Chain A
């Protein structure tokens, strides 16, 4: 599949298959198309060329069916500035149709380290805290497919450990994970397979363990 924005192709000839339960690292420099790839999979973008299938469904045609089972954590946190952390979780839980009382949501906030700020408006949150809230949302969604776009960015070390633990735990449960990241050593430890994107095309694929070396050798 490919995707064009205006006159430039953000992604082209992206020919990829991921099996359920797999873990894939998507590596590449800034602007190489990692975010575009994840957004295409999430169904936020339509491919300009080719086709996308998630759970064997077209994520655009069967939006609800696909989105029920996937979760995207990206640079944007998709937050309402004037809601508090707890209120945001309440809203998402309600939209998802999961009956979660405040105590359970409070526990979730504790897990991601936001318990102290549960009633503060999101507008006062730092980038790292917003990231943690997005993680909490993804936890709430209980997806079968986890799309992570730079999950370690903006997080301090405990936060990054949290993400690592969570990815490992999800993989253990059979969740499919696609991880786009710059922190290659960290990410490669979690994933089995990797692809390297260069200017929107897959330039290399192989074992995640080799990805870091490959990327270093190139740049």
Chain B
């Protein structure tokens, strides 16, 4: 059974593309440049939405993982995997965007002093570990259980990692995004946030479907029953 009716996820995808175009247009051409950082800051219009939605994907994955362990139905495993993968893709994009922002602003590709950058990197490592674990397991049932376990364990770590990184660098903060926002800047950001959300939804649905089909190929139907000979009459036992 398909995870989401193709029509629904396609609508979600199309909506996402449209919104992304609208939000990007607004962000690139209509919104004013930021006071201090100039045009470079426009990356924030994809950067911040990516951050929100990647966290949201991980949260979805957490929910799917719990469902997977609770119900033991493969459908939830497909969804968990899909959500983790989409979350990781967004996470990687996030890191790249962060580096693209840091370079012109501070002249360096990477800094350990930026809480958000470090935090997103650690998120990536955490959830990449989930996918790594998957790759080493052959049996689909066990793979599903272990993926769910790893996802839940990783997700519980998120707040702990967050506080850790924040306190670690509390004395030396470098902001990767400006704190104050013009109202005119908030709109494209929100539009893009929804855009990325819908696109992510579409990707998750498609990926889960792909996973389901892959598993189906590996499924082999029970062989036909062979006729059974003999009878137990006379052994004093009921059938």
B238 in complex: contacting residue of A19, A46, A49, A198, CB < 8 Å: A19
Contacts of B236 in A (CB 8 A): 192
| A13 lies within 8 A of B225 (CB) | yes
- Which residues of A are found within 8 Å of B220, using beta-carbon distances? 4, 7-9
Known: A6-B138, A17-B239, A22-B237. A49 touches B222 (CB 8 A): yes
Contact in complex: A206, B225 (CB < 8 Å): no
Q: Majority SS of interface residues in chain B? A: loop
CB-defined contacts of A210 to chain B, threshold 8 Å = 230
List chain B residues, Cβ under 8 A from A206: 230-232, 235
Chain B 198-239, CB-CB to A under 8 Å as 1, else 0, gives 000000000000000000001010110110111110111111
Q: Contact: B230 with A205, CB < 8 Å?
A: yes
**Residue A74 at the chain B interface, CB threshold 8 Å:** no
How many chain B residues sit at the interface, stated as a range, is 20 to 34
A203/B225 contact (C-beta < 8 A), A4-B220, A193-B237 known: no
Contact of A207 with B226 in the complex, beta carbons under 8 Å: no
Q: How would residues 186 to 219 of chain A score, 1 for a CB under 8 Å from any chain B CB and 0 otherwise? A: 0000001100101011111111101000100000
Answer yes or no: A43 CB below 8 A from chain B CBs.
no
Q: How far is the CB of A73 from chain B (nearest CB, A)?
A: 24
Interface SS majority for chain A: strand
Q: Which residues of A contact B139 (CB under 8 A)?
A: 6
Q: Which of B225, B236, B237 has the most CB of A within 10 A?
A: B237
Q: Which residues on B sit within 8 Å (CB–CB) of A22?
A: 237
Q: Does A143 contact B (CB under 8 A)?
A: no
Task: Give the number of chain A interface residues (Cβ < 8 Å).
Answer: 28
Docked CA distance A33–B33 (Å): 72
Q: How far is the CB of A176 from chain B (nearest CB, A)?
A: 12
Contact B232 A12 (CB under 8 A): no
- The answer to whether B222 and A13 have CB atoms under 8 Å apart is yes
Within 8 A of A (CB), among B4-49: none
B141 at the interface (CB under 8 A from A): yes
Contact of A204 among B223, B229, B234, B238 (CB under 8 A): B229
Q: Is A28 an interface residue (CB 8 A)?
A: no
Contact with B along A7-28 (1 / 0, CB 8 A): 1110011000101001000000
Given A193-B237, A206-B235, A7 and B218 contact (CB-CB distance below 8 Å): yes
- Chain A contacts for B228, CB-based, 8 A: 202-205
A-B contact sample (11 more), CB < 8 A, given A4-B220, A12-B225, A192-B235: A2-B222, A6-B139, A9-B223, A192-B236, A198-B226, A204-B229, A205-B231, A205-B232, A206-B232, A207-B234, A214-B229
